[in-house]
Homo-oligomer: A and B are copies of this chain.
Amino acid sequence: MSLVIVGTVAFDKIETPFGKTDKILGGAATYIGIASSYFTDQVKVVSIIGEDFPEEYTKIITDHKMDIEGIHQVNGGKTFFWEGKYHTDMNSRDTLATELNVLADFDPVVPESYKDCEFLMLGNLDPTVQRKVLTQLKNRPKLVVLDTMNFWMDIALGSLLETISMVDVLTINDEEARQLSGEYSLVKAARKILTMGPKYLIIKKGEHGALLFDQKENCFFAPALPLEEVFDPTGAGDTFAGGFIGYLAKTKDLSFDNMKRAIIYGSALASLTVEKFGTDKIAYLSEEAINTRIENFKSLVEVDIQLIE
């Protein structure tokens, strides 16, 4: 049983109302990998980095027992870099700089030892690159989860739709679900998107929680935990996805009921990520910290209700 993750391993420079960072460890595969590593030690990463990627960041990744054979380091290359500034509401941000660097020519080569994976997480990337990973595998994994964003809907919709048609679970945010479907109602949007290939759709609503839909009109809602302070939202969506697929990889149960649990685990981990800059909070979590957060989520919505007579 292994979980292959493809996505960026990157440098982020972040400014929020609470402070700013220098170049720190970031990237979709980083957050997904760290989050999923709390559930399985069979995480294998496909990514690309430059020669400037420091040992100390590699150590954070390998400390989580991730297999990094699939992380290609380009001699003389520079690591993908993103710089952004969040507004007070933390729901919107300005991108101040995007330097693709080695990511511009990322042509993923999946190591032989990865090719029999049972779980595949396609982190946000060019949908053509995502497909290249999927098509290099020996067998179709038991579960393929795709994360993407509006950027690819704007510039590569055809390719994105092809990738979407090949996966089991799609995760996007509410605005993206509306854009992809042309429907304002999320219920209608979900119904339409679930005709495009995926059997499950997760709509992420940030501080407003997440919705899970299947093709049988089942719907599950997981709240976001009301937090004292959202310190840095970077990586929350990726952490969510990592917790989600990591929990499924651990439990090997792909029922709707188990996906509900996986979403709570993803939400719990994401709620931790945003409490510090970058990976500072999520990198070295205790089992107790995770379980306490799960208990918080349970009690947040727990209600014993009788019908009226």
Interface pairs (23), CB distance under 8 Å: A39-B308, A88-B184, A89-B184, A185-B227, A185-B228, A187-B226, A187-B228, A208-B208, A208-B209, A209-B209, A211-B226, A219-B300, A220-B301, A221-B226, A221-B301, A222-B301, A223-B301, A257-B304, A260-B303, A261-B304, A261-B305, A287-B309, A298-B305
A173 CB, nearest partner CB in chain B, Å: 13
Q: CA A265 – CA B259 in complex, angstroms?
A: 27
Candidate in A295, A300, A309 with the most chain B CB atoms within 10 angstroms:
A300
Determine the residue in chain B with the shortest Cβ distance to A261.
B305
Interface residues of A in 208-232 (CB under 8 A from B): 208-209, 211, 219-223, 226-230
Residues of B within 8 A of A290 (CB): 308
A224 CB, nearest partner CB in chain B, Å: 9
Residues of B within 8 A of A302 (CB): 260
Residues of B within 8 A of A261 (CB): 303-306
Q: CA A298 – CA B167 in complex, angstroms?
A: 30
Q: Is A192 an interface residue (CB 8 A)?
A: no
Question: Closest 10 interchain pairs by CB?
Answer: A208-B208, A291-B307, A260-B303, A301-B301, A221-B223, A221-B300, A261-B305, A187-B226, A187-B228, A186-B226
Q: CA A265 – CA B220 in complex, angstroms?
A: 19
Q: Is A38 an interface residue (CB 8 A)?
A: yes
Which residues of A pack against B, CB within 8 Å? 38-39, 88-89, 184-188, 205, 208-209, 211, 219-223, 226-230, 250, 257, 260-261, 264-265, 287, 290-291, 294-295, 298, 300-309
A291 CB, nearest partner CB in chain B, Å: 4
A53 CB, nearest partner CB in chain B, Å: 31
Q: CA A304 – CA B264 in complex, angstroms?
A: 10
Q: Within the complex, which residue of B230, B287, B305 is in contact with A185, where a contact is CB–CB below 8 Å?
A: B230
